[in-house]
Amino acid sequence: MIDIHSHILYNVDDGPSSLEQSIEMLQKAADEGITEIISTSHSYHPQYDVPYHVVIEQVKQLQDELERRQIPLKLHTGHEVRLNDKLVDLYLNKYVHTLANSNYLLLELPSNSVPHYTKNIVRALVAEGITPVIAHPERNKGIAEKPERLERLIRDGAVAQITSGSLSGHFGRSIQKLSLDLVRANLVHLYGSDAHNISTRPFLFDKGLSYLAKQKLSDYVDIFLNNNIYLLENKPLDILEPTTVINKRWWNPFK
């Protein structure tokens, strides 16, 4: 299994603070059956901005350490890039990493809104051959209030990544319910842990998938896991037609 969203680099953002904590996380990932991980430290976040070269250096260091300890896990470079009006230039000038050197870029929106210019950034990235991957839309207040905001971005060429902790209930029942609504509306395409540590923000990778299966949504489990593979191979994803959500009544966990 492939985890496309994780904070495994140490002492650079809000993930682990030491090499040993990073290794503990990676051992836990391997124990859960994860075989490959894309490292997605924050980039151009208000609090964190991990430089391009630091990602390359730490991923190599951690990979060497995994091999030394015989932990069967392969690491890839990436960033979780905060939405900003210079994002296309940052990509073109190699200040931000795409996911595993693919044509997919993990895009983080502000927690409380979907800024009006988001669509312009999505369209500009698509014009450069890059597919924006909207990170954890189920935890965005603006999308919770109006899920059609996510639908519009998807119709503009973006895709979306759901978080294992959201599906497993780690962030509460209301976000769990919204997550299911987004899945059922075909507004989610990829799956990641967004793990930061082994205590308060663990991987929960299998737990989230098991919850989908219990909700009789095993077909989506297959779609998400296959799409994670396709992303890593830089291939087109399986995209289902979004349902019409504009006139649908949605549960808003942020009220």
Q: What is the mean pLDDT of residues 239-244?
A: 82
* Residue 252, pLDDT score: 55
Element (H, E) at 128: none
> What is the separation, in whole angstroms, between the first and last Cα of the chain?
35
* Residue 188, pLDDT score: 96
Please give the domain boundaries of the chain with CATH numbers for all domains.
Answer: 2-232 (3.20.20.140)
Q: Using CA atoms, how far apart are residues 180 and 57, in angstroms rounded to an integer?
A: 37
φ, ψ of residue 146 to 5 degrees: the values are -140, 90
Hey, which bits of 85-186 come out as E strands? Answer: 104-108, 131-135, 159-163
pLDDT in tens, 100-123: 999 999 999 999 999 999 999 999
pLDDT in tens, 48-90: 999 999 999 999 999 999 999 999 999 999 999 999 999 999 9
Q: By C-alpha distance, which of 144, 226, 216 is closest to 187?
A: 144
* Residue 245, pLDDT score: 54
Contact 171, 139 (CB under 8 A): yes
Specify the pTM: 0.92
